[in-house]
């Protein structure tokens, strides 16, 4: 619009100028009145040049303004393009983030599906295990309502799970041999409790109650295990072991008593043979009578010890000195053990090596005395069978303390044990065994081994060489 106004103004000015200078038109006329075409041409050329110059100037400024406008437009366009690029980049990043979020969401959904499937599988597996357990399993919440009731519980009670779950335990199963007080005690203390319920000879149940820990909702589990068959089998084994121990002890006592009785019978037989013949000297008669008296005293000592041991089995553990028990056992052994070949226990050299300041040990005194007597008996009869007749028979006894334990060694230089005897010396003897395959019944030490390992929670072992002798090792805990 400005451009056209400018052209119109120029034409107006030109027209006005022409009117203002109309008086100068005579300059383009000759005196004769003819037109000076050359002047007109020159003037027209000048005007045209002037107009062209003005137009050129106008065009220059127009181009300049246009260039400036184009430059501004280009800047605006570049700015717009940059903004578009930034917005596009932002949108792309947003799209990428959205896609990533979608992928993560899809992954989480897939993972949740897998987790759900695993949880369902684990729950089914756990339920299968609970249902397969050969004992009653009852789950209870804090209000003592039933939450679990496995297949064995259904079979044992005849009550299906859907009739029990959600109900108060004693309403659903009133004959259970538990009281609410016992259950509440476990909930309060959080300690596992085992209750044994039995009717002797008929049934045995182990009822274990333990609280669930680490859960937001407290509760507990009751396990009712029918151990009737196991208890009966264990009782049979215990009875069998008791009979075996009694047989071993009876055989040892019979063997010990048989020696002095045989000596007494031999003396009486010799006396009878000689009394019917020639006259017996008083000295010989006195010797036979003294020998019979000594053997009678030995048999009496064996019986007295057996009675003493039988009357002291119910004693509680007492703190006592192990060397004192050993010394007393050696003293008793001197009056109990002898052999028909002439070796008496009191003729054996006893070497004692007791460490100083030994602490007292909690033990059953009579039982340990029986153990030491059995070991001394075994040593005595092994010395009788020793192939080293020229070597003086001896028993070495040592007692020491080491690592909260009392260590006792009883060593003899008699005939050692064979490999088979070492394998069977601590094993109980049963009637269906062949004695020739191991230790003789009277020389077995299963009863002593049982006393050390079961009644005193200790250890007992033997090391032996047939040509050197045997060493029995005993470990007793000081606490």
User: Cα separations (Å) of 52 from 2, 17, 40, 60, 297?
Assistant: 19, 18, 18, 12, 167
pLDDT value at position 276?
62
pLDDT value at position 351?
94
pLDDT value at position 4?
46
Q: What is the DSSP letter of 143?
A: T
Q: Assess contact for 408 and 329: CB atoms under 8 A.
A: no
Higher pLDDT, 332 or 217: 332
Q: Can you tell me the mean pLDDT for 71-86?
A: 84
φ, ψ of residue 102 to 5 degrees: the values are -65, -40
pLDDT value at position 225?
79
Three-state SS string across 285-340, please? HHHHHHHHHHHHHHHHHHHHHHHHHHCCCCCCCEEECHHHHHHHHHHHHHHHCECC
Q: Assess contact for 334 and 346: CB atoms under 8 A.
A: yes
Check: pTM over 0.75? Answer yes or no.
no
Query: Residue 403: pLDDT above 60?
Result: yes
Q: Assess contact for 224 and 140: CB atoms under 8 A.
A: no
Using DSSP's 3-state secondary structure scheme, residue 161 falls into helix
- Sequence-distant (≥ 6) Cβ neighbours of residue 100 within 8 angstroms: none
Higher pLDDT, 416 or 271: 416
Q: Can you tell me the mean pLDDT for 447-455?
A: 87
Q: Can you tell me the mean pLDDT for 426-449?
A: 64
Query: Residue 195: pLDDT above 60?
Result: yes
pLDDT value at position 474?
95
- Sequence-distant (≥ 6) Cβ neighbours of residue 56 within 8 angstroms: none
Cβ atoms within 10 Å of 171's Cβ, excluding its own: 11
Query: Residue 324: pLDDT above 90?
Result: yes
Whose tokens are 């578009």? That residue is: 84
Banded model confidence at residue 335, pLDDT cuts 50, 70, 90:
confident
Distance CA 288, CA 271 (A): 7
Q: Residue 140's beta-bridge partner residues? A: 146, 220
Q: What is the DSSP letter of 458?
A: -
- Both tokens assigned to 423: 């394998």
Task: Give the percent of the chain with pLDDT over 90.
Answer: 11
Cross-sheet strand order for the sheet of 469-477? 349-354, 394-401, 405-412, 469-477, 459-465
Banded model confidence at residue 156, pLDDT cuts 50, 70, 90:
confident
- Both tokens assigned to 190: 């959080």
Element (H, E) at 125: helix 37-132
The segment with the largest mean pLDDT, out of 97-106, 252-261, 329-338, is 97-106
pLDDT value at position 252?
66
pLDDT value at position 359?
92
* Termini Cα distance of the chain: 120
Largest Cα–Cα distance of the chain, in whole Å? 225
Query: Residue 20: pLDDT above 60?
Result: no
Q: Assess contact for 205 and 224: CB atoms under 8 A.
A: yes
Q: Can you tell me the mean pLDDT for 33-49?
A: 74
Q: Is the dihedral angle over the CA atoms 73, 79, 83, 84 positive or is it negative?
A: positive
Query: Residue 383: pLDDT above 60?
Result: yes
Q: Residue 305's Cα: distance from chain center in Å?
A: 47
Residues in the chain: 479
Q: Classify burial at 443, counting beta carbons within 10 Å of its beta carbon; exposed 0-12, middle 13-18, buried 19 or more.
A: buried
Distance CA 145, CA 141 (A): 5
Q: How many helices (H) and strands (E) does the chain have?
A: 11, 12
Task: Give the percent of the chain with pLDDT over 70.
Answer: 72
Q: Classify burial at 450, counting beta carbons within 10 Å of its beta carbon; exposed 0-12, middle 13-18, buried 19 or more.
A: buried
pLDDT value at position 8?
47
Q: What is the pLDDT of residues 338-368, one digit of tens each?
A: 665 567 788 889 999 999 989 999 988 888 8
Q: Assess contact for 447 and 249: CB atoms under 8 A.
A: yes
Q: Residue 475's beta-bridge partner residues? A: 407, 459
Query: Residue 422: pLDDT above 60?
Result: yes
Angle 142-145-149 from CA coordinates, rounded to 5°: 120
User: Cα separations (Å) of 465 from 32, 99, 415?
Assistant: 176, 84, 8
Q: Can you tell me the mean pLDDT for 267-288?
A: 69
Distance CA 375, CA 473 (A): 11
Query: Residue 30: pLDDT above 90?
Result: no
Please tell me the chain's helix, strand, coil percentages from 3-state DSSP, rounded to the nearest 5: 60, 20, 25
Query: Residue 201: pLDDT above 90?
Result: no
Q: What is the pLDDT of residues 171-183, one digit of tens each?
A: 888 888 888 888 8
Q: What is the pLDDT of residues 303-319, one digit of tens each?
A: 776 666 666 555 678 89
Higher pLDDT, 328 or 15: 328
Q: Assess contact for 218 and 140: CB atoms under 8 A.
A: no
């Amino acid at each position: 619009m400005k451009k056209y106004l400018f052209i119109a103004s120029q034409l107006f000015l030109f027209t006005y100028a022409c009117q203002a200078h109309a008086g100068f038109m005579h300059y383009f006329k000759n005196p004769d009145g003819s037109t000076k075409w050359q002047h007109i041409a020159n003037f027209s050329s000048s005007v045209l040049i002037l107009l062209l110059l003005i137009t050129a100037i106008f065009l220059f400024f127009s181009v300049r303004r246009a260039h400036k406008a184009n430059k501004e437009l280009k800047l605006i366009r570049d700015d717009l393009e940059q903004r578009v690029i930034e917005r596009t980049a932002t949108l792309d990043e947003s799209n990428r983030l959205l896609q990533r979020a979608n992928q993560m969401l899809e992954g989480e959904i897939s993972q949740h599906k897998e987790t759900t499937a695993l949880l369902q599988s684990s729950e089914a597996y756990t339920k299968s295990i609970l249902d397969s357990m050969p004992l009653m399993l009852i789950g209870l919440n804090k209000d003592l309502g039933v939450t679990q009731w496995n297949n064995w519980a259904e079979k044992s009670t005849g009550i299906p799970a859907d009739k029990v779950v959600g109900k108060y335990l004693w309403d659903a199963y009133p004959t259970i041999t538990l009281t609410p007080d016992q259950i509440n005690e476990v909930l309060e203390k959080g300690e596992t409790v085992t209750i044994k319920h039995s009717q002797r000879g008929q049934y045995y149940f182990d009822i274990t109650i333990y609280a669930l820990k680490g859960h937001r909702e407290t509760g507990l589990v009751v396990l009712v295990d029918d151990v009737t068959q196991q208890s009966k089998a264990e009782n049979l084994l215990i009875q069998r072991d008791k009979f075996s121990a009694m047989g071993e002890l009876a055989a040892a006592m019979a063997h010990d008593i048989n020696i002095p009785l045989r000596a007494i019978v031999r003396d009486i037989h010799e006396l009878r043979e000689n009394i019917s013949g020639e006259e017996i000297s008083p000295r010989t008669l006195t010797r036979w009578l003294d020998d019979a008296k000594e053997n009678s005293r030995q048999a009496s000592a064996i019986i007295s010890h057996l009675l003493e041991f039988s009357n002291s089995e119910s004693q509680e553990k007492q703190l006592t000195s192990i060397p004192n028990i050993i010394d007393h056992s050696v003293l008793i052994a001197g009056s109990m053990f002898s052999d028909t070949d002439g070796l008496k226990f009191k003729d054996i050299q006893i070497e004692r090596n007791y460490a100083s300041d030994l602490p007292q040990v909690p033990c059953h005194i009579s039982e340990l005395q029986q153990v030491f007597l059995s070991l001394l008996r075994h040593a005595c009869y092994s010395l009788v069978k020793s192939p080293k007749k020229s070597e003086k028979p001896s028993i070495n006894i040592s007692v020491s303390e080491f690592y909260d334990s009392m260590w006792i060694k009883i060593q003899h230089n008699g005939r050692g044990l064979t490999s088979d005897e070492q394998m069977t010396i601590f094993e109980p003897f049963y009637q269906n065994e062949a004695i020739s395959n191991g230790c003789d019944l009277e020389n077995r030490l299963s009863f002593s081994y049982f006393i050390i390992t079961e009644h005193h929670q200790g250890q007992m072992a033997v090391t032996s060489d047939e040509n050197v002798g045997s060493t029995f090792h005993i470990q007793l805990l000081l606490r």
